[in-house]
Structure 1
């Protein structure tokens, strides 16, 4: 397989409140107006709900990360709110279909963008460079990136676009905390940390160190060496694993 040419190293500075209290994702009408329409300037400004929501600074911060996660780097969204222009560039391209005319953000799109958003929360709102990896072509990593960012942190997954947000993470093997995202304690963290580590709640680690099919509950027993999860356990194909320098 040919080596990819572009690193997937991005900054993180999304603050907790912009994600969990924000009108863009907490207000059902605005949330539906956002995900059921294409992620373009005309669609956003043509809808009074999303246009009004973008008057809020925290909404604009969250929206900037949504666009960065969803759209590729050669696309962007430009809007004018109360006469003030704002430019939101794409970066990763995890859900490029959302940016197409008449596009929308279905379940897969929502979960990829959610995992990316959760991975980019920073407890202190600081800019720290992180490497994102996962089972998505947009997250293919280079040898140089893997060598430079070789400290596994955690894997993030869920869906923040649901009425009851689903925000999960599992720890990288050998880790006991996520200070970048959670601060000094896992208590009251923006994500619910599931299981002892990702090897307990996800499928086998991929060659790049990432995990997929991560569950929202830990197994309650092993049968023939395989984990058995409680009835009602959900798994997420879309997950983003973070590595630090």
Structure 2
């Protein structure tokens, strides 16, 4: 599963369940299916550091009642969620970018999410977001309230497409799902395992976790993909270097420590510790592993 990554900023506002993508500018071009036989999709990612925090969206934005209790179509959204994606301000831009990536992960290429909104100049804008992966294509007409597996798949998909910067990167995302499979040529091209992502943004207490593959940290930072290993920041006063995570995306350490069962074919992690801070035994197999070019 190849993603051409540009400006994907995750917008998770806790306790709001939302993650989205945005960069220095909003790029409204949707992902393009480039080859079903290769299970490859071109999409976007990259982002700004503040995207994954409470300033991105708030309780008046896209919330649980607006998303996972209802169908993923404009007619079924809650009043607050619909207002969020139609907002003409900066929060509206974040909400629309989040929705675009949510649709990309959840719906199929033949499904769309369409609506209009009016900008600050009074111009009516038409939005059409097309699906890509089809992880929850039935969400277009029904809720996924009780399907925690799908909730986790969609969460991992969006989290893996999150980045600190607004630069264009190309990544390969893989797990055991057919929609996330990879061709031999893809695996030969994207050989640097960056890290893994998992969580559930639809849980009563939303969370996202990530880990890094030590051998891929240098390449990830070179490509400005910092959310798995953490963003390096230098204190202008003391000169000390600190590591910052992407908002509430908790970095739990090395994937070599917290994950296991590397797939012999796809190279992805088969499972990771759900929360290493609380248990060294409870694992989740709903994980998306990211790969980069050397």
Cα 1:92–1:17, aligned 2, differ >3 Å: closer, same or farther? Answer: farther
Q: For 2:243, which of 143, 163, 187 is the aligned residue?
A: 187
Equivalent position of 2:164 in the other structure: 123
Question: What residue ranges of structure 2 are gaps of 5+ in the alignment?
Answer: 1-35, 119-123, 234-241
CA distance in 2, matches of 1:30, 1:42: 15
Give the superposition deviation at 1:13.
Answer: 2.4
Equivalent position of 2:200 in the other structure: 159
Equivalent position of 1:240 in the other structure: 288
CA distance in 2, matches of 1:49, 1:27: 6
Question: What residue ranges of structure 1 are gaps of 5+ in the alignment?
Answer: 220-228
**2:64–2:202 Cα contact (<8 Å) kept:** yes
**1:217–1:230 Cα contact (<8 Å) kept:** yes
CA distance in 1, matches of 2:53, 2:282: 21
Is residue 214 from structure 1 mapped to residue 248 from structure 2 by the alignment?
A: no
3-state SS, counterpart of residue 116 of structure 1: helix
Q: For 1:102, which of 130, 138, 142 is the aligned residue?
A: 142
CA distance in 2, matches of 1:8, 1:71: 13
Give the superposition deviation at 1:34.
Answer: 0.8
3-state SS, counterpart of residue 102 of structure 1: coil
Equivalent position of 1:77 in the other structure: 113
Question: Taking structure 1 as the reference length, what is the TM-score of the superposition?
Answer: 0.81
Query: RMSD of the alignment, in Å?
Result: 2.7
Equivalent position of 1:201 in the other structure: 258
Give the superposition deviation at 1:116.
Answer: 1.2
Q: For 1:49, which of 80, 84, 92 is the aligned residue?
A: 80
Number of equivalent positions = 228
3-state SS, counterpart of residue 155 of structure 1: strand
**2:273–2:283 Cα contact (<8 Å) kept:** yes
Give the superposition deviation at 1:20.
Answer: 3.0
Give the superposition deviation at 1:28.
Answer: 8.7
**1:155–1:239 Cα contact (<8 Å) kept:** yes
CA distance in 2, matches of 1:16, 1:95: 28
Question: Taking structure 2 as the reference length, what is the TM-score of the superposition?
Answer: 0.68
Q: Which has the higher helix share?
A: 1
